[in-house]
Amino acid sequence: MDMFFDDGELGRTVPALPEGAVLIPNWLTPEQQRWVVGQFRTWAAGPVPPHSARIGAHRMSVQTVCLGWHWRPYEYTREATDVNGRRVLAFPEWLVRLGRLALTAAGDPAADLYTPDTALVNFYDDAARMGMHQDRDERSSAPVVSLSIGDTARFRFGNSDGRGRPYTDLDLESGDLFVFGGPARFAYHGVQKVLPGTAPVDCGLAAGRINITLRETGLPG
Ligand code: SIN
Ligand code: MN
């Protein structure tokens, strides 16, 4: 049977998603995943260390390092004023190309116009999660491209009206691409939990999960 099915595709069902949301399982190869993990280590050792953003009195459980623009709740700035005041690393050209390839894979006819200028790179340990929220600190309504590496996340993708139903629960596994744009761009979404011990041995990350979201901020260069 090995010759008929790629590893990882067996037993994987892709749930129905609202218009504008696309899941492409195993989009990044293990080699690409390892390379991205290497880049993550470089970013994490850069001018602004991974940081748990504060939302009101709480801290997020994920640790975030940003490229291009530094995100904190409600605002993008060039300098990470809530961390150490340093300017974040430039947004790498290869991530623009990867974003366009991702949108092409997702069937977006405007893929070649996509010019993401920020990446929010989140690290999840076993206990980290992310409550239901909208990505709406951007002034652009271009799609969000999400890449996952490491442990599987139980991801909830909902609707634009509120945190409740209807929503779809799906697993984001190592190498998966998830895109949300068009009518799904402002849908609430969150990470219910990370499933420890599920990272494939060849993904480059022994434990935990990396999620990278590419976005267009719509801010002047
Ligand atoms: C996010 O909503 O910004 C991150 C989603 C994820 O970690 O899959
Ligand atoms: Mn989000």
Domain boundaries, the chain: 19-215
Instruction: Judge whether 135 is annotated as a binding position.
Output: yes
* CA of 187, nearest ligand number: 2
Average pLDDT value over all residues in the chain: 95
For ligand 1, whether the C-beta of 147 sits within 6 Å is no
Query: How much is the average pLDDT of 14-30?
Result: 96
Query: How much is the average pLDDT of 97-104?
Result: 98
Distance 131 CA to ligand 2 centre (A): 9
| pLDDT tens digits along 118-161 | 999 999 999 999 999 999 999 999 999 999 999 999 999 999 99
CB atoms within 10 A of CB 6: 10
Distance 32 CA to ligand 2 centre (A): 23
pLDDT number for residue 221:
85
Res. 1 pLDDT band, cuts 50 70 90: very low
Distance 5 CA to ligand 2 centre (A): 32
> What's the whole-model pTM score?
0.96
Q: Is 191 helix (H, G, I), strand (E, B) or coil?
A: strand
Is the pLDDT at 179 greater than 80, yes or no? Answer: yes
Q: What CATH homologous superfamily does 19-215 map to?
A: Alpha-ketoglutarate-dependent dioxygenase AlkB-like (2.60.120.590)
